[in-house]
């Protein structure tokens, strides 16, 4: 067995391993090229592949910052693994262990102190390791490699067929407009100067980037695919919500305005807009137990659960 850095000729073999090892998370060649190869933090030296019998039979996709992430900087102590796998026909030969030892040794030599699976931004595929689909992988990471589970991320989805805002929620929306001066409406260009600093201050640069990518498209040539709502109270931005095709979120409310039902109103208004565009299913990849209870009120059900894992180097 040979372990070396990824090469351009490896794409077909690597994707085959990806699909065989992670059948719940298959990706297309186009997505691999746009979200992996063209990621500014991609470097082939951080993607070790195992070659046996003249083909790639295992890999790890690891990323470290090559460029600063907005004002968050280089995260020089951290690394992220967003995908890994060994072809089923080549397992139990020490290939996975050798791949992880290779990347861990490299990261330690660079004085990095943490490697996570896999909350990498901007281009993560799933939040972590699916606890139902890949229990053997979780055991391997814990027992052989020394990873620990930081927390669990919940993915949920909702059937929007015949979706209607419940009467009590609509009444709350109407009262908020009359009593609190709260409005929830589609974004306009005039909202941008207030919205973008609001996102950075209260939610951070990754949410800024996520909203920016939606709004570049929304104010470009594809507004039909996107719903972006802004909540204002007495003129000030207090919350927002976004959606593209079937993917819902993220959405958020200013910390000092939470626990007043604003998030619930944003959620239902956005789902109403999705249903009106004949989007009949909504899903998201990542939330926690507390937020899951809110989503359940709107008909969301659990789809998957992921273990977000970390190794201290």
The Cα–Cα gap between 87 and 13 comes to: 10
- Whether residue 58 is predicted with pLDDT greater than 80 in this model: the reply is yes
pLDDT number for residue 223:
66
- Whether residue 72 is predicted with pLDDT greater than 90 in this model: the reply is no
- Whether residue 264 is predicted with pLDDT greater than 80 in this model: the reply is yes
pLDDT number for residue 73:
87
CB under 8 Å to 145, separation ≥6 — which residues? 97, 100, 104, 311
- CA distances (Å), origin 312, targets 41, 76, 135, 144: 21, 14, 21, 14
pLDDT number for residue 258:
96
Overall average pLDDT of the 46-63 stretch = 97
The Cα–Cα gap between 81 and 218 comes to: 31
Q: What are the tens digits of pLDDT across the range 117-165?
A: 999 999 999 999 999 999 999 999 999 999 999 999 999 999 999 999 9
- Whether residue 222 is predicted with pLDDT greater than 80 in this model: the reply is no
61's tokens: 């996709």
Least reliable range by pLDDT among 14-28, 61-75, 76-90, 185-199: 61-75
The Cα–Cα gap between 280 and 152 comes to: 27
SS3 call for 3 = strand
Closest CA to 67 of 59, 75, 57, 77: 75
The Cα–Cα gap between 29 and 145 comes to: 29
The Cα–Cα gap between 115 and 103 comes to: 10
Considering the chain, what percentage of its residues have pLDDT values greater than 70? 99
pLDDT number for residue 262:
97
Residue 51: pLDDT band (50, 70, 90) is very high
Q: What are the tens digits of pLDDT across the range 83-117?
A: 999 999 999 999 999 999 999 999 999 999 999 99
Mean pLDDT of the chain: 96
The Cα–Cα gap between 10 and 300 comes to: 39
Report the interhelical angle of 262-276 vs 167-175 (nearest 10°): 120
Considering the chain, what percentage of its residues have pLDDT values greater than 90? 96
Overall average pLDDT of the 40-65 stretch = 97
- CA distances (Å), origin 291, targets 32, 86, 117, 224, 302: 31, 35, 22, 27, 12
């Amino acid at each position: 067995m040979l372990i070396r850095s990824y090469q351009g000729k490896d794409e077909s073999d690597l994707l085959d391993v990806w699909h065989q090892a992670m059948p719940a998370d298959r990706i297309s060649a186009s997505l691999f090229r746009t979200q992996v190869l063209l990621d500014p933090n991609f470097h082939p030296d951080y993607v070790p592949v195992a070659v046996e019998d003249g083909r790639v039979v295992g890999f790890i996709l690891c990323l470290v910052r090559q460029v600063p992430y907005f004002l968050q900087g280089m995260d020089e102590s951290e690394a992220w693994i967003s995908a890994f796998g060994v072809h089923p026909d080549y397992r139990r030969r020490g290939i996975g262990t050798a791949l992880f030892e290779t990347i861990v040794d490299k990261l330690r030599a660079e004085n990095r102190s943490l490697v996570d699976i896999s909350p990498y931004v901007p281009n993560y595929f799933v939040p972590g390791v699916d606890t139902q689909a890949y229990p053997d992988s979780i055991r391997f990471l814990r027992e052989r490699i020394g990873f620990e589970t930081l927390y669990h991320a919940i993915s949920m989805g909702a059937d929007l067929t015949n979706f209607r805002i419940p009467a009590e929620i609509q009444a709350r929306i109407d009262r908020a407009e009359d009593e609190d001066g709260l409005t929830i409406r589609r974004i306009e260009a005039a909202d941008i100067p207030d919205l973008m600093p609001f996102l950075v201050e209260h939610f951070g640069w990754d949410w800024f980037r996520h909203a920016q990518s939606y709004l570049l498209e929304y104010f470009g040539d594809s507004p039909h695919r996107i719903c972006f709502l802004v909540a204002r109270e007495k003129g000030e931005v207090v919350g927002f919500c976004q959606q593209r095709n079937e993917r819902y979120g993220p959405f958020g409310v200013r910390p000092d305005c939470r626990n007043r039902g604003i998030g619930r109103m944003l959620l239902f208004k956005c789902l109403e807009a999705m249903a009106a565009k004949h989007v009949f299913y909504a899903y998201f990849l990542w939330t926690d137990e507390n937020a899951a209870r809110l989503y359940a009120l709107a008909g969301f059900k659990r789809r998957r659960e992921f273990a977000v894992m970390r190794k201290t180097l």
